[in-house]
Amino acid sequence: MRRSMLGRLAVAACSLSLLTAFAPAAVAQADGGGHDRSYKKVGYFTQWGVYGRDFQVQDLEANGSAGKLTHINYAFGNVSPQGRCFTGNVPGEADAWADYVRPLDAANSVDGVADTGEQPLAGNFNQLRELKAEHPGLKVLISLGGWSWSTHFSDAALTPASRKAFVESCIDLYIKGNLPQDGARGGAGAAAGVFDGIDLDWEWPGSAGDTDTTYRPEDKQNFTALVKEFRTQLDAYARSQKKKTKYELSAFVPTAPAKIDAGFDVRRIMRDLDFVTLQGYDFHVSGEPRTAQQSALRARGDFSVDGTVDAWLRRGAPANKLVMGMPFYGQGWTGVSGGGDGMGQPATGPAPATWAAGYEDYKALKKLADSGAYTIHRDRRGGHAWLFDGTTLWTYDDPQVLRAKTGYIREHGLGGAMFWSLDADTADGELMTAVDRGLRGR
């Protein structure tokens, strides 16, 4: 996935997805069978969202989401051509300014205190540290790769030596917090304690991803070995620090069975991963010539959440390690012809939108729904919704859809919910609240 999500929108759903994320939960809740259990509630915070969207870490406190989340996945960390985790200020490749250099004023700080010029850690990393201080059970994971930044994953995972060096570099940068010096910012241990684990968002081992992403037939066995190397080094570092809880390790994984089989030795990787987050969106995208659902719970003869869960279960994944991905955005088409409710009809192209054609945040789609200009349509059996005004169609998840999906999680004993991305929710955290209540059975 990319730092912004623009390029993915024109690619067929079977070859893409958004990132992702993972996490263990902190609150006991009741499942459909009446048993007490915990659910992961994993939200992506985008590095670049602090710019145009002006969505700051502090907004998670303001809209009430911070107290409902169990995990935040920070998107993204990049992999260099040399197969190392790195940061810096390189347009399109790394943004240390957003990560840990940029000063926040009091109004935009979680603790209400402005950053100073002398402190070694500022930016998003410092705000995440402050958020964790307010919510001690909250975990923060660095998500590595994504659609755009999976370019060099295959090279990094190619040999035992390259895997060892890659993992060492990621632990040094993000877990030990040894940041490059940037003026007064950074230095040895500057970000220590910010991150509680690592998410592997390699899209995709063994099959095509973004246009410049390398992939090889041996990626499947190399990904398995890479997961083992991360698990081994993270556990060793935790022991050296006499840490009472382990560092967490997860991966974002695809919907398409062909991609699962090409890149994932499911039974073996699940031994070392704490959980995986399932692609639960982008089943169809606005670059396609006909309108279609992008995140249906069930869809006969098509990609769906239920089909994805079943594919992973049949290959040996434990249900309680599967975390369902949910979109906080919609895919849209314009020039829709053919009449009816607009679904499954020809379209002339992606719909105009705020940030990228064919892609719109839920908070904007809610305004369209509330305006009366669009009709809300629902496939209650399929578990998905869309807006249509006779010309433009948006397929998306609203609170009613999310209630159905959280019910499915409880009924099937899954590990919880993940969502892309937190900056797309409303100012009062409407979708986050729906997921939280749904997982509590309310």
Strand blocks (E) in 270-309: 275-278
- What residues have CB less than 8 Å from 414, skipping those under 6 apart? 309, 319, 320, 322, 323, 324, 408
Pair of tokens at residue 375: 């009709």
Q: Is 61 a catalytic residue?
A: no
Q: Any idea what the Cα angle at residue 197 is, between residues 196 and 199, rounded to 5°?
A: 140
Residues β-bridged to residue 377: 386
Strand blocks (E) in 147-269: 179-182, 185-187, 197-202, 248-253
Name residue, tokens 């067929």: 12
The C-alpha atoms of residue 333 and residue 118 are separated, in whole angstroms, by 49
Element housing 77 (H / E): strand 71-79
- What residues have CB less than 8 Å from 428, skipping those under 6 apart? 63, 64
How many Cβ atoms sit within 10 Å of the Cβ of residue 391?
Answer: 14
| Spatial CA neighbour of 392 closest among 343, 338, 336 | 336
Phi then psi for residue 114, to 5 deg, are: -70, 145
Pair of tokens at residue 45: 């915070």
Which of 61, 130, 203, 248 is labelled catalytic?
Answer: 203
Structural contact between residues 124 and 50, judged by C-beta atoms closer than 8 angstroms? yes
Active site residues: 203
